[in-house]
Amino acid sequence: MSGNVLLSTAYLPSAEYFARIAGAEAALIEKEENYIKQSYRNRCYLLSASGMQSLTVPVYRGSIHKTPVKDIRIDYSKRWQQVHLGALVSAYGSSPFFLYYYETIEKIILRNHEFLLDLNMELLMSINKMVNLETEIKYTTEYMPDTGAENDFRYRISPKKKSDYQTQPYTRVFSTKEGFYCKLSIVDLLFNMGPETISFL
């Protein structure tokens, strides 16, 4: 894919998300849309010893009125940071490249960002560097309605939708027991394959 790709904001996004970035000249992260519940905007999936595990960043959604994603605040009344970091250690602590990348991710998660968008963007930019992606990343400046354009993945990369994207098989800590899952966060690939991650996107 050439040109720009349009993506939603996402928390520790999937390998497919990064594959779309890798294939574009620039990635536009949507910040003008209204927040969508039960999406990758505030959740990701890991592969643990017991199978797929969902991690969700709790957020304040305000009143019943629609809230722009750029205004979504993180709810720190819940101990989500400790839960997420514990889950990462439990799932990937024995993976080959865990020690190379975990500390950077840990520091970002513990930074107490006020807004979900800021947490997601800092993680995205940091992981981009880890993966050695050079695609330009920037925010949208206005909302563009979904027209089904080929380069628009804002609503197609979703835990509720089946994807045609397939990752190449790679060695995982729990791969023999649990098989391969394509919706997993990029950290699964990163902790297991390290510098080779980009070749699997």
Query: Under a CB-based contact definition with an 8 Å cutoff, are residues 156 and 146 in contact?
Result: no
Residue 97's SS3 state is coil
The number of C-alpha atoms within 13 Å of 177 and in the hemisphere containing its C-beta is 8
The pLDDT tens digits along the chain (201 residues) read 459 999 999 999 999 999 999 989 999 999 999 999 999 999 999 998 888 899 999 999 765 468 999 999 999 999 999 999 999 999 999 999 999 999 999 999 999 999 999 999 999 999 999 999 999 999 999 998 999 999 999 999 999 998 888 888 888 877 655 566 779 999 999 999 999 999 999
Residue in the structure block whose two tokens are 């800092």: 122
**Residue 34 burial (CB count, 10 A):** 12
Residue 107's SS3 state is helix
List C-alpha distances in Å: 197 to 52, 63, 190: 20, 41, 6
What pTM did the predictor assign? 0.94
- Two tokens at 172? 């995982």
Tell me the sheet residues that pair with 44. 55
